Amino acid sequence: MAGSFQTGATELTTAAGDMVHTNELLQDEARQLAQAVDSVQGAWSGAAAQAFTNLMTQYNDDFTKLNTALFNIAEQVSGSAADYSKQEEEASADISAIMQTLSDG
C-alpha cells in the first residue's frame, strides 16, 4: 500500500532516542546563544537594549516550552514502544497457547 506507515518497538525506541538527542542539541545551542548575548548585553543600553532583553525573555520562555514538549513527546513515544513490545509478547503467548491446544486436540 503506497504511503502507508508501519512501525514497531525498535522504531519507536529509536525515534524517542532521536528526540532526546535533538533536545540535547537544542539545549546546547541555547546555552551558546545565552553566553553570546550575555557577553554583549552589558555594553548595550537604552530602549533598543530593553527591547532586545524583552525579546530574549520571550525566546527563553518559548524555548522552555519547546524543550518541555519535546521531552514529553519522547517519553510518550518511549512508553508506546514499551506498550507495543508488551502487546507483541502477549499476542505471541496467546498464539502459542492456541497452537498448543490445537496440537493437543
Helices (H), the chain: 9-41, 47-104
Digit-by-digit pLDDT tens for the chain (105 residues) are: 567 777 788 888 898 999 999 999 999 999 999 999 888 888 888 998 899 889 999 999 999 999 999 999 998 888 887 787 788 888 778 788 888 888 886
CB atoms within 10 A of CB 74: 19
pTM over 0.85? The answer is no
**Residue 5 forms part of a structural domain:** no
Domain count, the chain: 1
Query: Could you tell me the three cell numbers for 31?
Result: 546555552
Place of cell 553570546: 36
Domain range for residue 44? Answer: 16-104
Q: In this predicted model, what pLDDT tens digit does every residue of 78-92 receive, in sequence order?
A: 888 778 778 888 877
**Residue 54 forms part of a structural domain:** yes
**Residue 72 forms part of a structural domain:** yes
Is residue 29 within 8 Å of 67, Cβ to Cβ? no
**Residue 3 forms part of a structural domain:** no
**Residue 7 forms part of a structural domain:** no
Which residues have CB under 8 Å from 78's CB, separation 6+?
12, 13, 16
**Residue 37 forms part of a structural domain:** yes
